[in-house]
Amino acid sequence: MSNRWIPAGRSSNDRRRFYWGEPKPRADSVEVIIRPTRHDAAFLIAQLVEAQIIAHPDVVLGLATGESMEPVYKLLCDAHRNYGLSFSGVRTFNLDEYVGLAADDPGSYRSYMEAHLFSQIDIEANNTHLPNGMAADLEAECDNYERSIAESGGIDLQLLGIGRVGHIGFNEPLSALRSRTRAKALSPATIEQNAAHFGGDHSKVPHRAITMGVGTILDSRRCLLLATGAEKADIIAKAVEGPVTSMISASALQLHPRCTVVVDEDAAAKLSQQEYYRWIFENEPEWKPFQ
Ligand code: GLP
C-alpha cells in the first residue's frame, strides 16, 4: 500500500492521473474506507480534495474545522507549496461559526481557517465564506449564507468531521434532517469538547453558533467525512450502522447519494462490518489509485 503524493516536478498532465473520476450520479450506500493511521486517513482526504481541484479548478468546497481536519489542511498547504496546487479559482463555504466572536478572535473558525489554510495558499479572500457570527440580524445572515451557496452553484465537495454527540457542523441532537443554515444553541457536551480550544475554560466557549443545516449538507454533491481516534469509535458505529435519527445528525448522511466516510483503525474499531468495507475498497476500481 503506497501513500503516493504527486511527485514534485511532475506536469499538470501527470497530476491528472490521480483524479479519481467524476462523482458518480448514482444513489449509493455510504462508503466506509478504513486506513491504518490518522495520517493515512487524512492523506486520502487530501488526495481526494486535490484531485477535485485539479479536475475542476473552480470547484466549490464545503470546509470543516476541528483537530481531525488539521492534517488535511497541512497536506493541502504542502501540495500548494511543493507541487504548485492552485486554489486561485476555488470557492469555499465553511460549515459553521460561533455567534458573538469577531472574525479576528483567536477562537473563531475564521481564525482557524486563516491559520490552517487560507493564509498559506493562493485562494482569493473574496472566495472564502464563513457565516458572520457578529451579524446584527442572525436570521438574515443565515438566509444570505444559503443564498450565497446557491448562487455559487452549490457545494461540489463537502468536508465533514464529527463531534462526539454525532453532530456535523453544529447540528446538535434533534436538528431536523431538513434543517437549513441557522443559529443554534450548542449542547453541553459540545461546549465541553470544544473548551480545549478556549484554553480549557468552558465559560469562554460561546453558547451559540451559526451552522449549515443537515438539509444544506445533504444538498452537496459529494460528502467526505473524516473521523480519527478511539474517542470517535462509538459515534461512528452509530452514525454509519445505526438507524437514521435526528439525535445523531451524521446518521443523516445515510440519505446522501454520495458520501464517503474515511476512518483510521481506532475510529473504525466498533464498526461491525469492517471486513466488508475493506473488501469494497479493494474491489471498487475507483479506489485502485489510492490503495
Ligand atoms: C466542531 C465543529 C465540527 C467538527 C467537530 C469535530 O464541533 N463544529 O464541524 O466536526 O468540531 O472536531 P474534532 O475534529 O476536533 O474532533
pLDDT digits 0-9 by tens, 182-199: 999 999 999 999 999 899
Number of residues written out for the chain: 291
State yes or no: pLDDT of 243 exceeds 50.
yes
Q: Is the CB of 96 inside a 6 Å radius of any atom of ligand 1? A: yes
Residue 162 Cβ < 6 Å to ligand 1 = yes
Per-residue confidence (pLDDT) for residue 2, from 0 to 100: 36
CA quadruple 117, 3, 54, 66: dihedral, nearest 10: -30
pLDDT, one tens digit per residue, over 37-51 is 999 999 999 999 999
Confirm or reject: Cβ of 194 under 6 Å from ligand 1.
Answer: yes
3-state SS class at 147: helix
Q: Is the CB of 206 under 6 A from ligand 1?
A: no
Angle formed at CA 270 by CA 76 and CA 24, multiple of 5 degrees: 50
Whether the per-residue pLDDT at 103 is higher than 90: the answer is yes
Q: Is 95 in the pocket of ligand 1 (CB under 6 A)?
A: yes
State how far the Cα of 128 lies from the Cα of 123, in Å rounded to an integer.
Answer: 8
Cβ–Cβ under 8 Å, residues 240 and 32: yes
Cα 285 to ligand 1 centre (Å): 31
Q: Which atom of ligand 1 is nearest to the CA of 209?
A: 8
User: Which residue, judged by its Cα, is nearest atom 1 of ligand 1?
Assistant: 66
pLDDT above 80 for 26:
no
Average pLDDT, the chain: 91
